[in-house]
Chain A
Amino acid sequence: MVTNLPDDIDIAGTKTRMEVAFGSGDGDEDMTAIVAKKESNLGAIFEQSYKPWDGELGPRWMRNYSIFRHHVYGLFTSKGHRHYHPFVRLTILVILLASLTPIPMLFLSSLLPGQDGDFLSKMWGINRFNLWGQILGYFPRNLCMWPLLTALVVGGMISDDRRNGTSAIYFSRPINRFDYTAMKFISVAVILGFVIIFSYFAYYTSAIVFRGEGWAFLIDTLPLFLGGMLSGIFLVLTYTSIGLALSSISQSRFFAAIGFLSIIYGTKIVALLIDMQFDTSILYILSPYDCLAHIGQFLLGIELNYEHPLAFSIISLIIMNIVSMSILVSRISSMEVTRE
């Protein structure tokens, strides 16, 4: 406990410290000469003058938008924005292009006459299963693409601020922790959404354009499309919250990325092994992917291939998101300004 201290300490009449100067002798030794060496004066190379600034600072949305822009624009050009490693940018581009592969097949189907065209249209055309598969298919999308994409994007999103101390740049300015968290979340969600939802949208619209479909087709398939889009939004939100939570508890990009992949693949493999061994699908409620796939099957009207009730997957997914967001909020609340 603090002792009672005087408000203004009196040091009148006290003595200062003594320190050794000009060597360490005791003062009684023989005299020797000391030659002082004067430091050369290099002079000033520029005229320093303080320049005041009397502009006005913009409102809250400008501050928040700058955070968003910094993180998202960095994917397109690292100059002036958050630096993404060229390999990361290249991988994201490859994932985007890979997610668009049905489009050339649809284009081909529109060019080929007769049965060949119909076959290609059946394989890659719009139907419940293809719409579900475009977002929630396990191979290759949820095995090779979306988890890897998320891991690469969330890796340094918050952990870099912890490692570099750049959280101080944000929190010593008029940015509150809610805005910081929200903008980081939106940045990741927009990047994931750009690849996942945009490719889904492009797939659907190109099927209509290339096959010359009319209003009837649109009315028939639009609910399916919207169901798939909703599944995609759930996937983006879930992956973002889990990924950011992992990024917020570490100073390492690698930890967040590998942690995310471990959660996605690990839970899936464990549930698969249990399913194969004991013939029960209940452990799939621990796998974020399977919960999303289960909900997606319901939204698109596909026969459910999980034995456990849909409600279990919905509740599990909600809990996963709540836990992830709680970790994220709690870790961001603990980020320091004066010392990290």
Chain B
Amino acid sequence: MLEDSNNNWVIETKNLSKMYGPHLALDGLNLQIPRGAVGVLGPNGAGKSTLFKCILGLIQITSGSGKVLGFDIQKEGEKIRSKIGYMPEYDALDPGLSAIDQVRYAGEILGMNTDVATQRAHEVLEYVGLKDQRYRKIDTFSTGMKQATKLACALIHDPEILICDEPTNGLDKRARKFMLDTLRRTAEEGERTVLLSSHVMDDVQEVCSSILMIYKGKVVLQKKIDELVNQVEKEIEITIWGGASIMETQLIDNGYKVRRLGRILRVTLMDDNTIIGILKIAAECKVQVRQLKEYQPDLEDIFLLIMDKLGEEIKGTSDLMTPKHIGGN
């Protein structure tokens, strides 16, 4: 579990279960989510969307209990939803409206009066980088601009919790970076809680300090990313040119644990002398070492390791993605 010095959880559930007919979507979920940015991970069908619906107080839970910002998810759904900004995965915008009108309307249906909603719409559209495009119709927008508009709709009332479902779907490199920077800024500068659901582990790692992993309706992991990285066996990664097979054999003969893929070799870091030993062997084998670095496991590694432990045959998170994630139709 994650730690919070004041036990001031923004989301807390106890044995939360949800069944759809005979299908168990959430199985006794025990969560304690503190303020900050948290990545919600899990393969398709793990229960992420059901969890979001429960958090938003939209569905009746089968058993257990839960609180969001101190409000009961079974009885105080409307209060919860007025404190949460939700950015859906798919397009949720009226193509006939301009961005400013769409965002203003999103504020009005929260209960903001028109003047306040209009002023706030200008502010949030500037914040998400659409200041110059705010009067354009949404059907002329690129995918990135639509994503930014959805984020603006979610932020208009300055919510305590921002839930983002696949916010970088279909974005190019620059738009993706801007989106992630914006989410990180919202969490850090705005001191808001951001729940980020994504299959792109780099996105989660870039924004979030901790992750919550759900699998078959259960929480299998809830930890800070740094702590997880430290658990994985340390390796030295070397990129060599020429004689990779010879070098691999030599390293194994000298008692090193080696994994190789083409010209990349990863050698388990055993002690302080490992690097010197590797370099000596490289010199003996007369191979060029083009790069030598300590391999830093990323969230993708951790996700795949956990999926492997759970018996899921996922070779990469790209297996979990639909064409929409990569900008297709």
Stretch in A100-108, A167-175, A212-220, A225-233 touching the partner? A167-175
Q: Which of B102-125 contact A (CB under 8 A)?
A: 104-106, 108-113, 116, 120, 123-124
Instruction: Give the size of the chain A interface in residues (CB under 8 angstroms).
Output: 72
Say whether A165 contacts B88, CB under 8 Å: yes
Confirm or deny: B300 has a beta carbon within 8 angstroms of a beta carbon on chain A: yes
Q: Which A residues are in CB contact (< 8 Å) with B309?
A: 9, 11, 14
Question: When A2-B24, A169-B92, A174-B110 are in contact, do A28 and B242 touch as well, CB less than 8 Å?
Answer: yes
Q: How far is the CA of A14 from the CA of B260 in the complex (A)?
A: 16
Q: Which A residues are in CB contact (< 8 Å) with B301?
A: 16-17
Q: How far is the CA of A60 from the CA of B113 in the complex (A)?
A: 12
Confirm or deny: B190 has a beta carbon within 8 angstroms of a beta carbon on chain A: yes
Say whether A338 contacts B158, CB under 8 Å: no
Say whether B243 contacts A28, CB under 8 Å: yes
Say whether B92 contacts A164, CB under 8 Å: yes
**Please, which residue of chain A has its CB at the minimum distance from the CB of B131?**
A46
**Please, which residue of chain A has its CB at the minimum distance from the CB of B1?**
A8
Q: How far is the CA of A11 from the CA of B123 in the complex (A)?
A: 44
Confirm or deny: A114 has a beta carbon within 8 angstroms of a beta carbon on chain B: no
Say whether B111 contacts A16, CB under 8 Å: no
Q: Which B residues are in CB contact (< 8 Å) with A17?
A: 300-301, 304, 316
Q: How far is the CA of A50 from the CA of B300 in the complex (A)?
A: 30
Q: How far is the CA of A55 from the CA of B5 in the complex (A)?
A: 29
Q: Which B residues are in CB contact (< 8 Å) with A83?
A: 94, 96-97
Confirm or deny: B157 has a beta carbon within 8 angstroms of a beta carbon on chain A: yes
Stretch in B8-16, B32-40, B61-69, B219-227 touching the partner? B219-227
Say whether A340 contacts B90, CB under 8 Å: yes
**Please, which residue of chain B has its CB at the minimum distance from the CB of A337?**
B58
Q: Which A residues are in CB contact (< 8 Å) with B195?
A: none
Q: How far is the CA of A78 from the CA of B97 in the complex (A)?
A: 8
Confirm or deny: A66 has a beta carbon within 8 angstroms of a beta carbon on chain B: yes
Confirm or deny: A63 has a beta carbon within 8 angstroms of a beta carbon on chain B: yes
B220 CB → nearest A CB, Å: 5
Confirm or deny: A276 has a beta carbon within 8 angstroms of a beta carbon on chain B: no
Give the 5 A-B residue pairs with the shortest CB-CB distance, closest first.
A27-B244, A83-B96, A27-B263, A58-B111, A16-B301
- List chain A positions with a Cβ less than 8 A from chain B: 1-3, 5-31, 46, 48-55, 57-60, 62-63, 66-67, 70, 78-83, 160, 164-176, 337-340
- List chain B positions with a Cβ less than 8 A from chain A: 1, 24, 27, 30, 49, 52-53, 56, 58, 77-79, 81-82, 84, 86, 88-98, 101, 104-106, 108-113, 116, 120, 123-124, 126-127, 129, 131, 153, 156-158, 165, 181-182, 185-186, 189-190, 213, 215-223, 228, 231-233, 235, 239-245, 259-266, 288, 290, 295, 297, 300-302, 304-306, 309-310, 316
